[in-house]
């Protein structure tokens, strides 16, 4: 499904992935993790990738897989290399923490698999996988 890169559309994207997560059989914690990770990723696409609302679209697809849910987010922003974002020091005092990198940290913590890729002619492709709890 294609969404314009507006903060107002974060609610629509959340509804889309939440419904898919329910259909995939994820429990409440899994649904929360998916919703939070996708919201953070899409917010980052709008804010850091497009640098403004309406700067481009976000394509979101959900695929129910045997063990859970696979979500793919695509954008046409410049190449994003997550290795260029340093890990935040989550043990530092709040006043000493840098704000950059926390979203990426949470995405990786909430999801079971996170893969970043850049495809010429397509753009950035973020694949998120959340497995059902047993």
Domain that holds residue 66: 2-131
pLDDT in tens, 84-93: 776 666 666 6
Domain CATH number, residue 49: 3.30.565.10
CB 71 within 8 A of CB 30: no
Provide the β-strand partners of residue 59.
2, 74
For the entire predicted model, the pTM comes to 0.89
- The first and second tokens of residue 57, run together, are 């679209």
Quote the CA–CA distance of 17 and 77 in Å, as a whole number.
22
Task: Identify the CA nearest to 73 among candidates 84, 57, 86, 87.
Answer: 57
Number of structural domains in the chain: 1
pLDDT in tens, 31-46: 999 999 999 999 999 9
User: What pLDDT was estimated at residue 92?
Assistant: 61
């Amino acid at each position: 499904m294609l969404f314009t890169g507006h903060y107002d559309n974060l609610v629509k994207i959340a509804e889309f992935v939440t419904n898919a997560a329910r259909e995939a059989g994820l429990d409440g914690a899994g649904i929360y993790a998916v919703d939070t990770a996708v919201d953070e990723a899409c917010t980052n696409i709008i804010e850091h990738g497009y640098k403004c609302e309406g700067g481009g679209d976000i394509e979101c697809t959900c695929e129910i897989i045997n063990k859970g849910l696979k979500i793919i987010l695509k954008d046409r922003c410049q190449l994003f290399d997550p290795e260029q974002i340093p890990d935040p020091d989550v043990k530092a005092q709040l006043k000493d923490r840098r704000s950059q990198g926390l979203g990426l940290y949470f995405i990786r913590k909430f999801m079971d698999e996170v893969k970043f890729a850049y495809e010429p002619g397509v753009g950035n492709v973020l694949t998120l996988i959340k497995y059902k709890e047993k």
